[in-house]
Structure 1
Amino acid sequence: MKRTTISDIAREAGVSKGAVSYALNGRPGVSEATRSRITAIAARMGWAPSSVARALSGGRAGAFGLVIDRPAEVLAAEPFFMRLIAGIQHELGPGPTSLVLQVSPDHDTELEIYHRWHAERRVDGVLLIDLRADDNRLDVLASIGLPAVVIGEPLGRTDIPSAWIDDRAAIDEVLDYLVALGHRRVVRVAGPREFLHSRMRSAAFLAAAARVGLEAADVVHTDYSGESGAAAARRALVSALPPTAMVFDNDVMAVAALGVAQELGLSVPGQLSLIAWEDSLLCRLVRPALSAVRRPVGEFGALAVSLLRQVVTGASVSDACTSAPILVTRASSGPVCRDRPDVSPWASTADWFVPPRFP
């Protein structure tokens, strides 16, 4: 079906194209009666403004951009991004602004995308995710004048605000809960070391571990995939002093670790407690169901869009925090098993021994 143009509307209304332009753009130059008649004809003919033409004429593109620099196989299995995008779309609603989503294979390509979007006036602003140490995206976007909002930790910048979740409080709650159950050796399986949110959570985990007096608190960095989560769990669980509890940065890795525990003959939660992050449907489908930190991911995306709308209009915007995450306890976490010596819980009874402790 042919797209309705201003020329079509002008012909139907019996007026000039200039008069139609004035009427549809709310500019002076036509009477209110003519404006009403033209807008009614435009609506009947299914006319919609061209975002490209509007942007080239100095208007807005009517779109926000999001570039995700993650491997496709990780994205395909990661519920976080689907929930985040659902929150973004919910906030955008049926209004005039759409989401332009692109997956990038690397950092340099991501920067090229921003430059192209800005040159072509494809988007009015962008949402930044997965900030890294020494991330230059912030300065690049500021230099080309493309408005942005960070989905992540506050950065203390007045030009690029952040929408964020208080993960520190969630980590404190998790470790307080595990200590109350008698756990003293906990391993956190984290995302990539270069991500700022991974570093923040790891620092918060080690600080909380010191506060509650854990005997051992280790952090292992992975790529968020189930394969890496399983490998990290297997290495930890066959070590001389295995953890009695493990906390994972996403639910995909936690589900994979549950499989490893079953492979090694471990009882969950009798010999090993598992806690996931995000609390997607995966956590409730496996057996035992996984305890998890439920973060308001949909609200996270919606809040970022709300901030970006304000930034695009030139308003002064501050960092904003979502509602607090909560720990949802299920069958995968429980008290430490006290009926065995302090050894690797996958060993046979004949292999029990108490390893020497060194100063």
Structure 2
Amino acid sequence: MRSAREASSSSDGTQRVSLKDIADELGISQTAVSFAINDRPGVSAETKRRVKEAAARLGWTPVYAAQALGSSKTMTIGFAPARSTQGLTDESFMLHFMAGVHASLSPKGYGLLYRPCRFLNEEMSVYKDWASRKRVDGVILVDLRADDPRPELLKNLGVRAVLAGGPDPNNYVPSLSIDDSRTMGTVLEHLSSLGHRRIAYLSGDPNLDYSQGRVAAFRAFAKRRKLESINIEFTDFVAEQAAMLTLEMLHSPKPPTAFIYETEILAAASLHAMAEDYSARQMEAGEGHAEVYPNGLPAIVSFEDSFICEAAYPSITSAHRDASEYGAKVAKLLLKVLAGEQVSGNRRILTPKLVVRDSTAKPCNSCGI
């Protein structure tokens, strides 16, 4: 028969320190060590301190399979956003957001289970599967939709969750949101100060909560400032769609003099299309009438900031928000929920800053045309 120490050998053949080893080291019961390690009542604060110091000194690490059986914890957070494959691979914001989530979860011993989905129904099926198998301790939601069924589903499944965005109108889950309406106001104030009165907004998905907030803020600003005209189009985050719509508007009798895009990918693709169109017009006009690029282009603003905005020519003015910090704060909110702390229904943070670059650096000299 193997000894307790031999029975706890790890997969690579090395000896794993057990709770019994810590108990023997301190001359206390194994039950007391277990209570101290898991911060359960029944042992003194001094005992907990001694046990944790001994565990660190001896190199003890938890076996999560056994820990999950004993405490009903998986030490895993689920993240299953429903987005297009292109959106998941191209969008830098989500990558930085996940890095921030990891930064908050890792020191607490939590891992992130990332399960990208193609459709909303697939995402909901994943939550049902996770709940039935007790696969995760909590879930991070993104991209709140109109009449979104996910918060109520998670509540009914008994899965604790927080929402990045929102707020959840039914208050099923607490949320942490970025003030998108104020950001739209900042963008429009900047464009208005440059003389732009015909402005277009190319959004992503009309069902997303933050898109609806930005559209409402855009319409309210246009009415308040009596803008000459506004255009609002939805692209489903498809770059080719954004470029096509942009060129259609530019070729209209009274084209917009400024364009606002939901993401830097939409903005960069549209800028590329503008440049090609501009070059074609120069060729038709002849060298003697050609205007030096990029003079004559409309103003461009992106709601997302990344190296793409800096590398483009002209560089693209954008609303900058720290996606990593946002992810870290959302994860911390979920950790509070898991710890049983009382949290408010919705908090609003991180009003983005407008980074002015070449695409809006000059006043609009031909806005009256």
| Fraction of identical pairs, as percent | 32
Once residues 34 and 273 of structure 1 are traced to their aligned partners in structure 2, the CA distance between those partners, rounded to angstroms, is 62
Q: Distance in 2 between matches of 1:280 and 1:212?
A: 30
The one-letter amino acid of 1:286's match is A
Task: Give the helix-richer structure, 1 or 2.
Answer: 2
Alignment equivalent of 1:69, drawn from 71, 82, 90:
82
CA distance in 2 between counterparts of 1:59 and 1:143 reads 19
- Find the aligned partners of 1:255 and 1:197 in 2 and give their Cα distance: 21
- Give yes or no for contact 1:65–1:126 (8 Å, CA) kept in 2: yes
Shift of 1:34: 12
Match of 1:332 in 2: 359
Give SS of 1:60's match. coil
Q: Distance in 2 between matches of 1:341 and 1:159?
A: 49
* Deviation larger for 154-163 or 98-107: 154-163
Q: What is the count of residue pairs matched by the alignment?
A: 337
- Give the alignment partner of residue 160 of structure 2, picking from 147, 154, 163: 147
- Cα pair distance change 1:225/1:34, threshold 3 Å: closer
Shift of 1:174: 1.1
Q: Is the 8 A contact 1:185 1:216 kept in 2?
A: yes
TM-score of the two chains, using structure 1 as the length reference: 0.84
Which position in structure 2 is the counterpart of 1:306?
A: 332
Which residue of the other structure, out of 173, 192, 195, is the alignment partner of 1:182? 195
Question: Amino acid of the residue matched to residue 246 of structure 1?
Answer: F
Q: For residues 78 and 53 of structure 1, what CA distance do their matches in structure 2 show?
A: 38
The Cα shift of 1:119 comes to 2.4
Structure 2 gaps of 5+ residues are 1-9, 280-292
Q: Is 2:11 the counterpart of 1:2? A: yes
> Cα distance, 1:7 vs. partner?
8.8
- Cα distance in 2 between the residues matched to 1:9 and 1:150: 38
Aligned to 2:347: 320
- Counterpart of 1:203 in structure 2 is 216
State the Cα deviation string for residues 60-97 of structure 1 (Å, max 9, x = none): 22122111111122211111101211221222243311
Is the CA contact 2:22–2:33 (under 8 Å) kept in the aligned structure 1?
Answer: no
Alignment of 1:168-179 (within 5 A): 168-179=181-192
Q: Distance in 1 between matches of 2:145 and 2:15?
A: 45
Cα distance between partner residues in 2 of 1:336 and 1:38? 65
The letter for the 1-side match of 2:11 is K
User: Distance in 2 between the 1:200 and 1:121 partners?
Assistant: 35
Asked if the contact 2:17–2:59 (Cα under 8 Å) also holds between the matched residues in 1, the reply is no
State the Cα distance separating 1:9 from its structure 2 match: 6.2
Partner of 1:84: 97
TM-score, normalization: structure 2? Answer: 0.82
Task: Report deviation, 1:322.
Answer: 1.6
- Following the alignment from structure 1 to structure 2, what is the Cα–Cα distance between the partners of residues 182 and 167? 23
Unaligned runs of 5+ in 1: 343-359
Cα distance in 2 for partners of 1:174, 1:97 equals: 38
- Whole-Å Cα distance in 1 between the matches of residues 49 and 188 of structure 2? 64
CA 1:38 to 1:218, structure 2 compared with 1: closer, same or farther past 3 Å? closer
The CA deviation string for residues 140-161 of structure 1, in whole angstroms up to 9 with x for no partner, is: 1111111111111223444411
Residues 323 and 341 (structure 1 numbering): CA distance in 2 closer, same or farther, change over 3 Å?
A: closer
